[in-house]
Amino acid sequence: MGFKFEIVKANRISQNIVEQIRSAILEGELKIGDQLPSEKDFSKHFGVSKSSLREAYRVLEAYGLLEIRQGMTGGAFIKEVDLSTVKDSLVNYFFFQNPGLREYTQIRTFLEPQVVRICAEIITDKDIEYLENNILAMEEEPEGETFMSDLDSAFHKKLVDITDNKIISLVVESVQKALINIKRIVHTDQDFLKMVCNGHRKIVSALKAHDPEQASHAMIDHINEVEKGMMASKGGTMIITEKGLLKKNRTSQ
Amino acid sequence: MGFKFEIVKANRISQNIVEQIRSAILEGELKIGDQLPSEKDFSKHFGVSKSSLREAYRVLEAYGLLEIRQGMTGGAFIKEVDLSTVKDSLVNYFFFQNPGLREYTQIRTFLEPQVVRICAEIITDKDIEYLENNILAMEEEPEGETFMSDLDSAFHKKLVDITDNKIISLVVESVQKALINIKRIVHTDQDFLKMVCNGHRKIVSALKAHDPEQASHAMIDHINEVEKGMMASKGGTMIITEKGLLKKNRTSQ
DNA sequence: AATATTAAAACATCTGATCTTTTAATATTT
DNA sequence: AAATATTAAAAGATCAGATGTTTTAATATT
């Protein structure tokens, strides 16, 4: 018998509701800001208990599709999925995949040089001003571990935002975020900071000259230098959650 | 008063539990396969009701961190987050961001030429055989709308897998998945199929010759041709969910 | 007019009972 | 002895309904 049957899973009630609502959103029936009925009304409508409906709401909330507010004017509202939801999902995924520094560096060297190529063509004076201020702030930081990371992220984020490509922004920012977690423990001394500032200066200088080729090279050099700097002080991959928790992961795959 | 206070949100019990368990996972206290206590025991341990604990379990399950099985040997087990969870999250995100065809093409032209550059260096005869069989299968498909997409995905997935970079794989595959949804309605005639096969042939030919430069160019041409082909028949962005539901999104945003 | 109180809507949590699923252990049949 | 059927237990799934908490609108008071 060459038939291929699909496995039938006894669907949970809450899962069924989740799918119905998610479909309604993806089909456009439910728009951002739309309010779903109250727990009481909606559970009655579905003919299920309040607990089942609540579980469905929790899941949709976890997906970032729903915002639930308490109080008289509260309720369940359709929400646009925000970046942090996707990033968290990526962080969870990367935690188990546990990519090496090489993998992060590689995708950066694929994307960011191209990003600054585009930037070189279309960057405005205002953008350049922002980037220069960012470098100044970084140089003035004395031993600014955390702050330096924020400024570093902001620098790269600014560049990718100029390209106006949401997908690339998401990827670059997520990689940046994952890298910060590694950087934070691995290395943050003055030499490292000076090296980063130097790299950023060269990139901005090329952008100012509207020279794509030079900008691209400056970016490649910068990314490779950063990797080298991080390799110098070895260490396992670390992940810092939103709540500031640390995790040293040395699983040998 | 220049102080900056953070907003205090009355945390839900379930959210608190979610964070505790997620932290325990990211800190390495909980490993893949570990079983959490039963609902009854664990809720007693936390000093909360079963409903609150169950809501926490639902959320962790939505994150892809937990697998819950019913029955005598069932329970809640720590699970590795799988690709489909992240992809779904990306689909949700892209739905609202609604990137244009240009954005997909752009990130592809940044990543995939570099991917085949690497492939050209390290590709094996077995890999090439796989790719050639893939092309043959595609050419033999008469009007294989869906199947063609599957083969096309498999082709690009194979290439990116050769690079052995989990991050790039995730990105390329997600973009691929999103594109299929657009392609499926936009265009799938014989000319399109022939054009795709032709592009793939050129890429494989360059890989066979272990010529990175040629492979890269063949890939760039291929991606651009596909975009042109898709632009020809205009249409809104479409999204197909896991369950096969369609959504035409024309929000002018 | 400003402030304080109250009421109501909606979510949050709890208790405890009753299915349903799954599998291990046991009993029955062949 | 082996195959099959039955039973029991563990654990999740669902339900019903009570009670608490938040938030805001309406009202009353100063």
Say what percent of chain A tops pLDDT 70: 81
* CA-based torsion, A135, A136, A141, A147: positive or negative: negative
**Domain match, A114 and A225 both:** yes
* CB-CB under 8 Å, B89 with A86: yes
CA of B9 to C1' of C11 (A): 14
Per-residue pLDDT band for A169 (boundaries 50, 70, 90) equals very high
* CA-based torsion, A164, A166, A171, A175: positive or negative: positive
Mean pLDDT in residue range B203-223: 97
Residue A8 inside a domain? The answer is: no
- Rounded CA-CA distance B206/B187 in Å is 27
- Which of B96, B114, B164 should one mutate to test binding to chain A, selecting the residue with the greatest count of A CBs within 10 A? B96
Residue A212 inside a domain? The answer is: yes
Question: What 3-state class would DSSP assign to A73?
Answer: coil
Residue matched to tokens 């989990």? B166
The answer to whether B44 contacts chain A (CB < 8 Å) is no
Q: Is the CB of A205 under 7 A from strand C?
A: no
* Residue where a domain terminates, one of B48, B78, B108: B78
**Domain match, A100 and A162 both:** yes
**Domain match, A101 and A211 both:** yes
**Domain match, B159 and B112 both:** yes
CA-to-CA separations, A51 to A1, A44, A47, A68, B40, in angstroms, rounded: 43, 12, 12, 15, 16
* Residue where a domain terminates, one of B41, B56, B78: B78
Residue A2 inside a domain? The answer is: no
Distance from CA of B152 to the nearest CA of A (A): 21
**Domain match, B134 and B120 both:** yes
- pTM of the full structure: 0.78
Residue A238 inside a domain? The answer is: yes
* CB-CB under 8 Å, B59 with A80: no
**Domain match, B231 and B184 both:** yes
**Domain match, A65 and A142 both:** no
- Rounded CA-CA distance A166/B75 in Å is 40
Q: What is the pLDDT of residues A2-28, one digit of tens each?
A: 444 554 555 899 999 999 999 999 888
Which pLDDT score, from 0 to 100, does residue B177 have? 80
**Domain match, A147 and A40 both:** no
Residue B172 inside a domain? The answer is: yes
CA of B38 to C1' of C20 (A): 17
Mean pLDDT in residue range B42-58: 96
DSSP structure class, residue A64: T
* Structure tokens given for A166: 């949401």
The answer to whether A235 contacts chain B (CB < 8 Å) is no
Residue A3 inside a domain? The answer is: no
The answer to whether B85 contacts chain A (CB < 8 Å) is yes
| Minimum-distance CB partner of A62 among B62, B97, B102 | B62
Domain residue limits at A73: 13-78
The answer to whether B94 contacts chain A (CB < 8 Å) is yes
Distance from CA of B69 to the nearest CA of A (A): 11
Residue B2 inside a domain? The answer is: no
Say what percent of chain B tops pLDDT 70: 81
CA of B60 to C1' of D12 (A): 16
Write out chain B residues lying below 8 Å of A171, CB-based.
107, 171
Distance of CA A93 to the CA centre of its chain: 12
**Domain match, B127 and B70 both:** no
Q: What is the pLDDT of residues A51-76, one digit of tens each?
A: 999 999 999 999 999 999 999 999 99
User: For the residues of A200-249, what is the DSSP string, one character each?
Assistant: HHHHHHHHHTT-HHHHHHHHHHHHHHHHHHHHHS---EE---TT----EE
Whichever domain contains B28, its CATH number is 1.10.10.10
Whichever domain contains A141, its CATH number is 1.20.120.530
Residue B3 inside a domain? The answer is: no
Write out chain A residues lying below 8 Å of B177, CB-based.
none
Which pLDDT score, from 0 to 100, does residue A236 have? 40
Say what percent of chain A tops pLDDT 90: 62
* Residue where a domain terminates, one of B58, B78, B98: B78
Q: Report, in ranges, which bases of strand C sit under 7 Å from a protein C-beta.
A: 7-17, 20-24
Which pLDDT score, from 0 to 100, does residue A2 have? 42
pLDDT of residue B75 exceeding 50: yes
**Domain match, B57 and B88 both:** no
pLDDT of residue A150 exceeding 70: yes
**Domain match, B74 and B114 both:** no
**Domain match, A139 and A229 both:** yes
The answer to whether B168 contacts chain A (CB < 8 Å) is yes
User: For the residues of chain B, what is the DSSP string, one character each?
Assistant: ----PPPP----HHHHHHHHHHHHHHTTSS-TTPEEPPHHHHHHHHTS-HHHHHHHHHHHHHTTSEEEE-STT-EEEE-PPPHHHHHHHHHHHHHHH---HHHHHHHHHHHHHHHHHHHHHH--HHHHHHHHHHHHHHHH-SS-HHHHHHHHHHHHHHHHHHTT-HHHHHHHHHHHHHHHHHHHHH---HHHHHHHHHHHHHHHHHHHTT-HHHHHHHHHHHHHHHHHHHHHS---EE---TT----EE----
> Domain total for chain B?
2
Q: What is the pLDDT of residues A93-139, one digit of tens each?
A: 988 887 888 999 999 999 999 999 999 999 999 999 999 999 999 88
